[in-house]
């Protein structure tokens, strides 16, 4: 099993070596075709552009517009002409940012991110390195098992863990009680943050592990064979050779994990019926949901949406700039 | 631009490197095995629990030991499917529709635009690519509420379209397709097709798509899983529970359990059955899940 894999990985290295030709060398020839079929690239791009405008650009634009509007009620607010939409300036932003529920939800998401991202990526890297070092017979089994939660929707994962957190169901209750200790109810108080974080770590580690593992398998063996002959240990090889080489993969998994953290919604929404601690504004996106659908204040919801979208973009883009990588392989 | 998407599983008997890599201190191997098994147990435990829990009766769920199986699996499945004249089946079918159609259209759209961005030179190319990258960094879920506000304006909310249409565009799918097209479609082949008199669309359908096939399977899987697992978009868009996908339906069932504890066992059984299709899909297509995310960023 192990051998087949290694050989397979080996052949992929050859494939990637072949495909690694820089595309720039081909550009001149592509350019010669330009005159003849100038319209072709645009027709290939048309469906994507139409959908992008309709479901990315237009919603952001419409939300930005709504965030600057408000309803003006004249008289008693009765009759068709009594409620009109007028310009509101920045008042929705002021209102949504100073909402007493907003900042706590931002801090909560910050703390959640500080728990989830390092834990998840640390575990993913550790598991990927262990798999790659190839000193075990349980590699294929463990790889499949750890990847499996990615196939489980966040809602279902939260549902399963939610039941396991209930003291009446949790197996830990039985075990801990054997020692005469009363276990904490993880669905209450400050435990909830950890309870939700655990679901995210459970669901995300496998995917990130596979991404890192794939990158590790693509490292040519001779890069660390020499180090091994010189007596380097697995740990030294991992720290000094493998991790620096897969750093770009780690950066990308970091950015995607960060984005996923900022938009956490399904897990706390699912756990909500099981826990009184999770409020309807537990995360920023939940607050947007409450404002839009419970309070029917779409203007404030729109303002908060715009803030979250801009913040997500700023954080991920800023991080990519900070690490000095040219974001996403831009060629020209 | 190194892409190693698919690693063909070749049954090979001689592999010198792996033999060499296994030599060394044997101490590590026990620790590695233990850690990997711990990881596997942690990941499998909730799945094992749901398997066992769905065999319990409603009363046993909260009274017997967590991992003690019982004999009520088929009763529970019967109850689940009887729930409101088989509404659960409908959720399953809806989920398959959203994920299947959404991912198929999205893959085609991504392949076309990825190919155009990789293999053509045209005014505005850089701008289009940068805009799509910005889309990767601002995922659709954050836009769900703005999308709702806009679709509500034209009366499309609470329809199949309200979930399908936003699922058809995936900036990340376009980004991946562009890498795949650049890596797998040689310009010489396109030139040859052109000399043979094939038009752009014919070349795309007959030559480019087959070459990009394995990469496109990955794009399809990514989008399929994203839609299958999506909760927020359908949760916001849909009001009629006959249009729900599994995620929204199960979340609603769990909410009912608060007033009607006998629903809990139905929720647990529903959770078990809902993960079977995707787990099967994963195990059978595992080899397509080897995407080098970092590939894009390492380019010299």
Of B6, B37, B71, the one marking the end of a domain is B71
- Residue B23: pLDDT band (50, 70, 90) is very low
In this structure, is residue B225 part of a structural domain?
Answer: yes
How far apart, in whole angstroms, are the C-alpha atoms of residue B32 and residue A69? 59
**8 Å CB contact of A155 and B247:** yes
Query: Chain A neighbours among B 171-230 (CB < 8 Å)?
Result: 171, 174-175, 179, 182-184, 187, 191, 194, 200-201, 204, 225, 228-230
* pLDDT top residue among A276 and A125: A125
Q: Which pLDDT does position B66 carry in this prediction?
A: 74
Q: What is the pLDDT of residues B110-141, one digit of tens each?
A: 999 999 999 999 999 999 998 888 888 876 66
Beta carbons of A268 and A184 less than 8 angstroms apart: no
The Cα of B216 is separated from the nearest Cα of chain A by a number of Å equal to: 16
Beta carbons of B102 and B227 less than 8 angstroms apart: yes
Give strand ranges (E) for chain B. none
Give percent above pLDDT 70 in chain B.
85
Answer yes or no: is pLDDT of A32 > 50. no
- Mean pLDDT lowest for which of A17-31, B101-115, B196-210, B247-261? A17-31
Q: Which of A326, A110, A312 is nearest to B135 (CA)?
A: A312
How far apart, in whole angstroms, are the C-alpha atoms of residue B210 and residue A61? 38
Q: Which pLDDT does position B57 carry in this prediction?
A: 85
Answer yes or no: is pLDDT of B149 > 60. yes
Answer yes or no: is pLDDT of A147 > 70. yes
Query: Chain B neighbours among A 295-314 (CB < 8 Å)?
Result: 298, 301-302, 305, 308-309, 312-313
- Residue B28: pLDDT band (50, 70, 90) is low
Of B43, B71, B99, the one marking the end of a domain is B71
CATH of the domain at A197: 1.10.3720.10
> At B239, is the secondary structure helix, strand, or coil?
coil
* pLDDT top residue among B231 and A11: B231
In this structure, is residue A168 part of a structural domain?
Answer: yes
Q: Which pLDDT does position A159 carry in this prediction?
A: 92
In this structure, is residue B18 part of a structural domain?
Answer: no
Q: What is the pLDDT of residues A166-216, one digit of tens each?
A: 888 887 777 777 787 777 788 888 889 999 999 999 999 999 998 899 889
Query: Is B260 an 8 Å CB contact of chain A?
Result: no
In this structure, is residue B196 part of a structural domain?
Answer: yes
Q: What is the pLDDT of residues A125-138, one digit of tens each?
A: 999 999 998 878 88
Among A1, A33, A40, A41, the strongest candidate for a mutation testing the B interface, having the largest count of B CBs within 10 A, is A41
Q: Which pLDDT does position A276 carry in this prediction?
A: 85
In this structure, is residue A85 part of a structural domain?
Answer: no
Q: Which pLDDT does position B299 carry in this prediction?
A: 28
DSSP string, B204-260: IIIIIHHHHHHHHHHHHHHHHHHHHH--HHHHHH--STTS--HHHHHHHHHHHHTT-
How far apart, in whole angstroms, are the C-alpha atoms of residue A308 and residue A262? 8
Give the range of the structural domain holding residue A117, as residue numbers without chain letter: 99-296
In this structure, is residue A202 part of a structural domain?
Answer: yes
Of B45, B71, B97, the one marking the end of a domain is B71
Beta carbons of A101 and A301 less than 8 angstroms apart: no
In this structure, is residue A305 part of a structural domain?
Answer: no
Total domains in the fold of chain A: 1
Q: Which pLDDT does position B141 carry in this prediction?
A: 65
CATH of the domain at B150: 1.10.3720.10
Judge if pTM exceeds 0.80: yes
Do B221 and B265 fall within a single domain? Answer: yes
Give percent above pLDDT 90 in chain A.
31
How far apart, in whole angstroms, are the C-alpha atoms of residue A44 and residue A47? 7
In this structure, is residue B67 part of a structural domain?
Answer: yes
Give strand ranges (E) for B21-81. none
In this structure, is residue A230 part of a structural domain?
Answer: yes
How far apart, in whole angstroms, are the C-alpha atoms of residue B217 and residue B227? 15
Give the range of the structural domain holding residue B35, as residue numbers without chain letter: 27-71
Beta carbons of A328 and B297 less than 8 angstroms apart: yes
């Amino acid at each position: 099993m192990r051998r087949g894999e290694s050989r397979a990985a080996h052949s992929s290295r050859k494939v990637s070596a072949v495909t690694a030709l820089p595309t720039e060398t081909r550009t001149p020839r592509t350019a010669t075709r330009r005159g003849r079929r100038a319209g072709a690239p645009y027709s290939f791009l048309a469906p994507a552009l139409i959908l992008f405008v309709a479901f990315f650009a237009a919603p952001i634009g419409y939300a930005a517009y709504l965030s600057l509007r408000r309803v003006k009620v004249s008289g008693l607010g009765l009759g068709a002409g009594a409620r009109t939409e007028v310009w509101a300036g920045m008042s929705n932003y002021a209102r949504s940012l100073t909402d007493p529920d907003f900042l706590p939800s931002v801090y909560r998401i910050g703390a959640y991110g500080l728990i989830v991202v390092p834990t998840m990526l640390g575990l993913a890297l550790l598991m990927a390195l262990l798999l790659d070092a190839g000193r075990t017979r349980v590699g294929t089994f463990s790889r499949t098992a750890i990847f499996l939660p990615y196939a489980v929707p966040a809602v279902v994962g939260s549902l399963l863990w939610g039941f396991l957190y209930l003291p009446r169901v949790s197996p830990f209750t039985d075990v801990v009680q054997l020692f005469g200790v009363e276990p904490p109810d993880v669905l209450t108080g400050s435990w909830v943050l950890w309870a939700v974080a655990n679901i995210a770590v459970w669901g995300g580690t496998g995917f990130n592990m596979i991404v890192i593992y794939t990158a590790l398998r693509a490292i040519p063996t001779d890069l660390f064979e020499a180090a091994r002959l010189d007596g380097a240990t697995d740990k030294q090889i991992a720290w000094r050779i493998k991790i620096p080489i897969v750093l770009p993969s780690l950066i990308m998994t970091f950015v995607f994990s960060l984005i996923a953290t900022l938009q956490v919604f399904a897990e706390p929404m699912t756990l909500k019926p099981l826990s009184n601690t999770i409020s309807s504004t537990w995360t920023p996106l939940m607050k947007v949901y409450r404002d839009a659908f419970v309070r029917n204040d779409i203007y404030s919801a729109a303002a908060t949406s715009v803030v979250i979208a801009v913040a997500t973009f700023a954080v991920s883009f800023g991080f990519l700039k900070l690490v000095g990588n040219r974001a996403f392989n831009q060629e020209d | 631009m190194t892409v190693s998407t698919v690693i063909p599983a070749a049954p090979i008997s001689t592999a010198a490197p792996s033999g060499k890599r296994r030599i060394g201190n044997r101490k590590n191997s026990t620790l590695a095995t233990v850690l990997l098994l711990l990881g596997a147990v942690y990941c499998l435990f909730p799945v094992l629990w749901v398997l066992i829990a769905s065999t319990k009766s409603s009363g046993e769920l909260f009274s017997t030991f967590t991992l003690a199986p019982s004999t009520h699996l088929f009763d529970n499945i019967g109850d689940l499917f009887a729930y409101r004249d088989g509404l659960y089946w409908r959720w399953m079918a809806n989920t398959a529709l959203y994920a299947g159609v959404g991912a198929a259209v999205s893959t085609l759209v991504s392949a076309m635009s990825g190919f155009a961005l990789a293999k053509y030179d045209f005014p505005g190319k850089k701008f289009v690519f940068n805009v799509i990258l910005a889309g990767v960094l601002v995922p659709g879920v954050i836009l769900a509420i703005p999308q709702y506000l806009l679709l509500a304006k034209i009366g499309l909310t609470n329809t199949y379209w309200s979930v399908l249409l936003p699922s058809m565009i995936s900036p990340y799918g376009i980004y991946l397709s562009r890498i795949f097209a650049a890596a797998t479609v040689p310009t010489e082949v396109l030139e040859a097709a052109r000399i043979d008199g094939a038009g752009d669309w014919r070349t795309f359908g007959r030559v480019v798509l087959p070459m990009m096939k394995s990469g496109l399977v990955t794009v399809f899987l990514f989008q399929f899983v994203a839609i299958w697992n999506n909760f927020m978009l359908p949760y916001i868009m849909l009001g009629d529970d006959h249009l729900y996908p599994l995620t929204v339906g199960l979340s609603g069932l769990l909410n009912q359990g608060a007033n009607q504890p006998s629903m809990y066992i139905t929720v647990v059984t529903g959770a078990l059955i809902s993960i079977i299709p995707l787990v099967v899909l994963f195990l059978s297509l595992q080899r397509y899940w080897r995407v080098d995310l970092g590939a894009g960023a390492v380019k010299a």
